[in-house]
Amino acid sequence: MPRGIGPGEMLVWCFLAVLAVVVVAWPAGHGVREIAAGLMDEGRVAATAYQPPITLRPGLVASTLGWAIGIGACSTALAWPAAWAFRRHGAVVLPWIAAAMTMPSYLAYAGYGLVRSPGTWLGDWLSGMAQQGWHWAPIVAGKALAFAGLSLWSWPIPALVMGWAVSRVDSGVLDAMAMDRIGPFRRAAMLARILARPLASSVGIVSLVMIGSAVPLHLAQADTWSIALWFALDLTPWDSRWRVWLLAAPVMGIAAAAGWRVAAWAGRGSEMPEWCPPDRRGGRASTWLTILVWLLATVAPVALFAWSLNRWGSLATFWIVNADAVGWSAAVWVTTGAIGAATCAAVWMLGSSGRGAWFTRVVVASLVAIGLSPGVVVGALVNQAWSSREWTRPIADSFAIVTLAHLARFAWVPALIGCLLAGAEPEERRRQRRLDGATGWRGWWLACGAPGAGMIVSAGVLTGLLSMHEIESTVMVQPPGIDSLSRRILQFLHFSRMEDLSAAGVWLVGGGLVLACLAAGVLALTARRDDTGSPPSGT
């Protein structure tokens, strides 16, 4: 810790250090310790040790990569119009893309899955094909639906990556293409060559997220590494789970490398390329296509949930039947969102102070690494780590363990937002603050924090909404006597309780969408105040 810091800044350092320890270092250290102890005892207990029912076979690896890269490519294609709408409208598009990111991964799969439920023309057609000997038809339809649903869920990620790159394409290049009157396919090929690195990065990032994604692929019975790990965790006793940690090590190693790379990119601060002003030239096709994709990914599934309700009384019944689960889950959402907002503010302050760059990078990298790891593995690690000692049992037996698991999954989101906000501060003002000695908590708050409080609150809301829809880690840490809405929704998905699922979808997803859209509208109005279209930076 640097010398000469005030008590406020010291508190920020301690907060981030504690966060990294409780959600990353403690679970990861427990996993490493379990693997080491298991390998040391391997020869002595090999004859009686339980072997997880999975192996790192080539077919499983190929299937995992096929699903991940395929979804990454499809979501990148869906995000192509949004990237150009980003160039046309500037940062006004950002909040709406962020709103789409708050939707659950199962939304499109479950929503559009109602179209093939029994009694619908598609469901009856698939059932008839199966009865006529085409037994694979419903299975293929489910897998295709999972593929399309995850593509619609993940498209905001490449939209953000490519949007930044597209906004920086030189206008002279586009003018030259327009003057040469080249065909649309040749123009697309030329732009793809120009944007080759952002395109590859988009596919790679989404692929990495998909390697750790489980719920829609699990419901579609896809053969992926994350699903196999989930299956192994359910069947493996605690004293043999070190074998599952060892099998998950390659994926978590990739996530750790990606976390370090992402933290390095986000921590560049003033070295990041400047934000380009909106370019209003060109047609509006990209805008309308972006709106269409956004509606298909968010509003349409919620509308299908409402349409599929057999009786509107189910909406009231939902609150009566699930009141206890909603209460416990709401406590987790609010706590996770509040800590997320504090994380955003803390990273923003340290990034703006110019001190502790390596400390911030390590914290952000560790949060990204565990956040990109398979959710079921993260949840199981958090649960086992905090249940392994007598003095930690009270945490494991309360809703705090669910909060820790959700922070392990999503604390990297507000941390990255804080990094980007620190980098968006004008360099002249940053230097002036440092010359004036206003690098502490009070100086940062007056110059950046108070004017940009809306961004901090929005980061907290985003984290809380992600926590609201989290299933994978939640089912692994559920303490006794405390039910969660995520577990019940997974039961609705598993057992095709469509009436309950539709009511939950209308209330949770619809309500979350309304909150996200309200936050997006406020941030979009804030961005419009800046003629350059740059994102709000607390100015």
Which pLDDT belongs to residue 370?
93
DSSP 507: I
Q: What is the 3-state secondary structure (H, E, C) of 266-326?
A: HCCHHHCCCCCCCCCCCCCHHHHHHHHHHHHHCHHHHHHHHHHCCCCHHHHHHHHHCHHHH
* Spans of the chain, pLDDT less than 70: 1-6, 42-56, 214, 267-283, 433-434, 436-440, 494-497, 520, 522-539
CA distance 87 to 533: 10
CB distance 382 to 334 below 8 Å: no
CA distance 72 to 150: 9
Q: Among the residues of 132-241, which ranges form H helices?
A: 137-154, 156-166, 171-180, 184-194, 196-211, 215-219, 225-235
Which pLDDT belongs to residue 532?
46
Which pLDDT belongs to residue 538?
46
Read off φ and ψ for residue 232, nearest 5 degrees: -65, -40
CA distance 92 to 291: 13
DSSP 413: H
pTM here is 0.84
Instruction: Encode burial over 146-162: b for 16+ CB neighbours within 10 A, e otherwise.
Output: bbbbbbbbbbbbbbbbb
CB distance 138 to 90 below 8 Å: no
CA distance 233 to 242: 10
Which pLDDT belongs to residue 27?
93
CA distance 57 to 55: 5
* Closest by CA position to 334, among listed 271, 270, 265, 407: 407
* Tokens coding 48: 């009686």
| Residues with Cβ within 8 Å of residue 179, at least 6 apart in sequence | none
Which pLDDT belongs to residue 181?
72
Which pLDDT belongs to residue 270?
44
* Tokens coding 110: 């479950």
pLDDT (tens digit, 9 = 90+) per residue, 296-338?
998 898 888 888 888 888 888 888 888 888 888 889 989 999 9
CA distance 298 to 78: 14
Cα R_g (the chain), whole angstroms: 24
Region class of 133: left (phi > 0), else alpha (psi between -120 and 50), else beta: left
Which pLDDT belongs to residue 385?
92
The residue behind tokens 């923003």 is: 348
DSSP 390: G
Within the chain, what is the greatest distance between any pair of CA atoms? 79
Which pLDDT belongs to residue 380?
92
Residue 83 CA from chain centroid, whole number: 19
CA distance 480 to 485: 14
* Tokens coding 296: 């298909």
pLDDT (tens digit, 9 = 90+) per residue, 12-34?
889 999 999 999 999 999 999 98
Angle of helix 225-235 relative to helix 242-266, nearest 10 degrees, comes to 140
CA distance 105 to 109: 8
